[in-house]
Amino acid sequence: MFGTLVDWRTGVAREAQLILQPHRIAIDWIAFADAWRDEYQPAMEEIRSGRLPYVKLDVVHRRMLQKIIPNFGLEKIPEIALDQLTLAWHCLDAWKDVPVGLARLRKRFRIAPVSNGNIALMSDLARRNDIHWDAILGADIARTFKPNAAVYLSAAEAFGLEPGECMMCAAHSADLKAAAASGLRTAFIARPQERPGVSESLPSVPVDVDARTTEDLATQLGL
Amino acid sequence: MFGTLVDWRTGVAREAQLILQPHRIAIDWIAFADAWRDEYQPAMEEIRSGRLPYVKLDVVHRRMLQKIIPNFGLEKIPEIALDQLTLAWHCLDAWKDVPVGLARLRKRFRIAPVSNGNIALMSDLARRNDIHWDAILGADIARTFKPNAAVYLSAAEAFGLEPGECMMCAAHSADLKAAAASGLRTAFIARPQERPGVSESLPSVPVDVDARTTEDLATQLGL
């Protein structure tokens, strides 16, 4: 979802500016979004490893935000504004191919997010971007985070499918590698604009389909 | 879902006839549907009470079918046909007000099934009947069955809402009574045609809204 379907970087930067500028904060908003996202893997790892119990991504995003407060001089921002800021992740726009690409894929396939995002977060992003999921699967169903195998396997199981009947689609090779290890098929969707210079333009692992966009994926799958 | 949104009785009767008639079975198809459904509460209770572990409703439906095989002379039906028959519950038609009524409700509210049916079952019924859920909640999320409180509370929690911000809508007073006990608001939707002579035309418990159809519910909620 994040990066593959929605542009978290400019969306979080925009929402942060909207919420923090009235508090007389003037920072590099894109750098702020990047710094917040950079806390993602360490925060996930606390839970994936079992050191902390599962909590939904909204809660993890709030913890991640707490860590970067000193770096951006946000110590005096009221708690309520920080809680509101955490919901920035619910207000992200999809890449422009997504509504049409997913609608084409849904003609033949059941489609569901298998994201680390929680159900409320996924349903808000779907509403905003006119996406019609068949179900919302992922971390909130598995009660742990990707790339733990339980997340991919619980998603297949929820649809009553074998892993090999499912295809994990993502812009991130690590995600696809873990899905493939659980027996799912994989499709790479290139999002070089997710974080220019850092994001992958090509997968670094073998994939079943290597697509440029969701529309290209639909075409390659014969739709 | 079953009874409130979809007509399980004539749907299961139709699917059973389609599958069993080629095996030279001639029975009262409606009586068969009723007998199958009558095994529902006893089968649920085994799991709600903790005597058996949680399994999805597809599996429970198969167990319930097994119990009525002798009553309808189905002993010689091959296992594969009985497995296929179990999927009859995925092929049910909604009452005619449902697609429009739910679309109206979705303009202002997040909507989700909070059913004892599993995710694959709910997503198949949604596809067949052109329903756009925001998420699929209910038993498969809570890992137990209604009317256990965990099912209602896990649904509210998945959307990040307090129970009092949610409204359980059903054609069955027992379901609404349990939801109200967990703090949810309630709406009765009358489905006297679910099982004529047996189904409730009016709720037997206090409810926040007493509606004739999903369209009437939308109207009463100001939509």
Q: Would you call B136 and A140 a contact, using CB atoms and an 8 Å cutoff?
A: no
Final residue in a domain of this structure, among A66, A90, A114:
A90
Spatial distance between the Cα atoms of A75 and B119, rounded to a whole number of angstroms: 43
**Which chain B residue shows the shortest CA-CA distance from A119?**
B158
**B110 lies in the same domain as B189:** yes
**A114 lies in the same domain as A185:** yes
**A76 lies in the same domain as A102:** no
What pLDDT is stored for residue B140 in this prediction?
Answer: 96
The closest of A117, A165, A125 to A142, measured between CA atoms, is A117
The residue among A57, A106, A123, A166 with the most chain B CBs within 10 A of its CB, best to mutate, is A123
**B102 lies in the same domain as B173:** yes
**Is residue B3 in some structural domain?**
no
**Is residue B85 in some structural domain?**
yes
Q: What is the pLDDT of residues B2-22, one digit of tens each?
A: 999 999 999 999 999 999 999
Indicate the residue of A58, A135, A141 with minimum beta-carbon distance to B123. A135
Residue B17 belongs to domain spanning: 8-90
**A69 lies in the same domain as A115:** no
What pLDDT is stored for residue A102 in this prediction?
Answer: 98
**A59 lies in the same domain as A145:** no
**Is residue A1 in some structural domain?**
no
Q: What is the pLDDT of residues A142-197, one digit of tens each?
A: 999 999 999 999 999 999 999 999 999 999 999 999 999 999 999 999 999 999 99
pLDDT category of residue A133 using cuts at 50, 70 and 90: very high
**Is residue B2 in some structural domain?**
no
**Is residue A174 in some structural domain?**
yes
What pLDDT is stored for residue A190 in this prediction?
Answer: 98
Q: Would you call A141 and B141 a contact, using CB atoms and an 8 Å cutoff?
A: yes
**Is residue A2 in some structural domain?**
no
**Which chain A residue shows the shortest CA-CA distance from B157?**
A120
**Is residue B1 in some structural domain?**
no
Question: What is the number of domains present in chain A?
Answer: 2
Residue-wise DSSP of A146-207: TTSHHHHHHHHHHTT--GGG-EEEES-HHHHHHHHHTT-EEEEE--TTSSTTTS-SS-SS--
Q: What is the largest CA-CA distance in chain A?
A: 54
Spatial distance between the Cα atoms of B2 and A216, rounded to a whole number of angstroms: 39
CATH number at residue A208: 3.40.50.1000
- Report the mean per-residue pLDDT for chain B: 97
Spatial distance between the Cα atoms of A107 and A100, rounded to a whole number of angstroms: 11
**Which chain B residue shows the shortest CA-CA distance from A121?**
B159
What pLDDT is stored for residue B122 in this prediction?
Answer: 98
Q: Give mean pLDDT, residues A70-95.
A: 98
ipTM above 0.90, yes or no: yes
Cβ contacts of A99 on chain B, cutoff 8 Å = none
Residue-wise DSSP of B5-29: TB-HHHHHHHHHHHHHGGGT----H
Tens digits of pLDDT across chain B (223 residues):
999 999 999 999 999 999 999 999 999 999 999 999 999 999 999 999 999 999 999 999 999 999 999 999 999 999 999 999 999 999 999 999 999 999 999 999 999 999 999 999 999 999 999 999 999 999 999 999 999 999 999 999 999 999 999 999 999 999 999 999 999 999 999 999 999 999 999 999 999 999 999 999 999 999 9
**Is residue B31 in some structural domain?**
yes
Percent of the residues in chain A that have a pLDDT greater than 70, as a whole number: 100
Cβ contacts of B119 on chain A, cutoff 8 Å = 135, 137, 158-159
**Which chain A residue shows the shortest CA-CA distance from B107?**
A127
Q: Would you call B160 and A110 a contact, using CB atoms and an 8 Å cutoff?
A: no
The pTM of the full predicted model, rounded to 2 decimals, is: 0.95
Task: Say whether residue A123 is in contact with chain B using an 8 A CB cutoff.
Answer: yes
What pLDDT is stored for residue A221 in this prediction?
Answer: 98
Cα B153 off chain centre by: 18
Cβ contacts of A83 on chain B, cutoff 8 Å = none
